[in-house]
Amino acid sequence: MNADTKALDAPVSSLKGVGEALVLKLARLRVACVADLLFHLPLRYQDRTRITPIGTLRAGHEAVVEGEVMASEVVRGRRRSLLVRLRDGSGILSLRFFHFSPAQQQQFRPGARIRGFGEARAGATGLEIYHPEYRLLSDDTPPVEDHLTPIYPTTEGLHQTRLRALIEQALALLDADPEALPDWLPESLRQRFGLPELHHCLKVLHQPPPDADPDQLASGLHPASRRLALEEL
């Protein structure tokens, strides 16, 4: 057994940033060792690989948007909220937060540039995104994602971003040695049915390329999904 195989068999506590509390949360997902993370597969996917002009947004669609803050204010009504008006040259969109801090409110000063992701909905000011994931834009802001974003089964207190980061650590260990996980399907059988190798399947299912069909991935019809199903049989 090589070093990477041992790393995949190691408890999740061996990963960076995993303490006792996180170990207990992962246990509720039946994730005990590093390899378990590799087989904790997404339920669905989001496309965060492109910026959508605000003017083309439609209610019910999830999208990544970028724009400049025009104004922000605390609105008092049935529920107190922070309303941020964002524009990008093609249109205007509202970001609405029902839970916010004074420090967060200060971030949305006029002229600040924001990248956000969420589902556009019809609201009191037109199209709105409630509690978007967002970041302030700067010269060193990374580009948009280069693969579809997985959404995993999770548990209380364990956010998607944390779970993705752990799975990325596990994938890095697998990338270091693709043979660290045994491939139980004979090569002749894989060639007969045109099925990819195990490490490639896991990479595709956790980090699908932008041109992958999210519905095909989520429904189990993608070749990578079929490959894992055949191995289970």
Same domain, 132 and 72: yes
Identify the sign of the CA torsion 179, 185, 187, 193. Answer: negative
Same domain? 227 vs 114: no
Per the domain annotation, does 142 fall within a domain?
A: no
Location of structure tokens 């006792």: 20
Asked whether residue 180 is domain-assigned, the answer is: yes
pLDDT digits (tens, 9 = 90+) for 68-114: 999 999 999 888 999 999 999 999 999 999 999 999 999 999 999 99
For residues 171, 172, 174, 175, the Cα torsion angle rounded to the nearest 10 degrees is 110
Number of structural domains found in the chain:
2
**Which pLDDT tens digit goes with each residue over 110-159?**
999 999 999 999 999 999 999 999 999 988 888 899 999 999 999 999 99
Residue type, position 46, single letter: Q
Q: Where among 88, 108, 136 does a domain terminate?
A: 136
List pLDDT tens digits, range 87-97.
999 999 999 99
pLDDT given at position 1: 40
Q: What does pTM read for this prediction?
A: 0.80
d(CA 149, CA 171): 15
Percent composition of the chain: helix, strand, coil (DSSP 3-state, to 5): 35, 25, 40
60 & 112 share domain: yes
- 103: domain CATH number is 2.40.50.140
Among residues of the chain, what percentage have pLDDT more than 90?
70
201 and 220 housed in the same domain: yes
For residues 33 and 71, membership in a common domain is answered with no
pLDDT confidence of residue 88 = 96
Range of the domain at 8: 3-45+148-232
Read off the amino acid at residue 25: K
